[in-house]
Amino acid sequence: MKLKTNLIYSLSLLLTLYSCGIYTFTGGDTGNAKTIQIDYFPNNAPLVEPGLSQQFTQSLQDLFLRQTNLSLVNANGDLLFEGEITNYRVTPMTATADQTAAQSRLTVVVNVRFFNNLDEKKNFEKKFTHFYDFGGSEQLTGSLLESALEEIFERVTQDIFNASVANW
């Protein structure tokens, strides 16, 4: 009887540990990939914000390094991201009675090409976009600009992650 109990306990423990090894809290499925290459995303938008390209590229790299066990490489990555920032614009959203902007919106659009060199069926080219609303009387500089870009990049990079490795 004791042997049977130990056997059942051992099998249960083994199955529990094995199933936990498959699951990831981020939902990322990198398959057999070991390396990731994230190329610099140049700013090709008509309105150029200095440092935007570097900030976005760094945000995307940081997200993948935090949420996966992939190693970042400069060339020949199992997974490759390339693309460009295609739009950076500020538009008025609502107007006041005297025809001035009561609220404005910053929108950033990024075109991404993803190549999975281990499974080419997962390759794609897609545009990702997000926006940040702010008061029409506020200047989009300093800490307001930092907050806006942080929120936009957080959403856009998470959408890129989900489209490429989270299978959502």
Q: CA–CA separation, 34 vs 163, rounded Å?
A: 18
Count of CA atoms in the C-beta half-sphere (13 A) of 71:
8
CA distances from 17 to 9, 12, 40, 51, 78 (A): 12, 9, 39, 45, 28
The Cβ of residue 47 has, within 10 Å, a number of other Cβ atoms equal to 10
Task: List, for residues 91-115, the tens digit of each pLDDT value.
Answer: 988 766 666 668 999 999 999 999 9
Count of positions (residues) in the chain: 168
Q: Give the pLDDT score at 81.
A: 98
Q: Give the pLDDT score at 20.
A: 45
Task: List, for residues 143-158, the tens digit of each pLDDT value.
Answer: 999 999 999 999 999 9
Please report, rounded to a whole number, the percentage of residues in the chain having pLDDT higher than 70: 77
The DSSP letter of residue 74 is S
Does the pLDDT of residue 24 top 50, yes or no?
no
Average pLDDT, the chain: 86
CA angle 126, 131, 132 (to 5 degrees): 160
Task: List, for residues 69-85, the tens digit of each pLDDT value.
Answer: 999 999 999 999 999 99
C-beta separation of 95 from 135 below 8 A = no
Using DSSP bridges, classify how beta strands 71-72 and 79-95 pair: parallel, antiparallel or unpaired: unpaired
Q: Tell me if residue 77 falls in helix, strand or coil.
A: coil
Does the pLDDT of residue 13 top 80, yes or no?
no
CATH superfamily for 30-166 is Lipoprotein like domain (3.30.160.150)
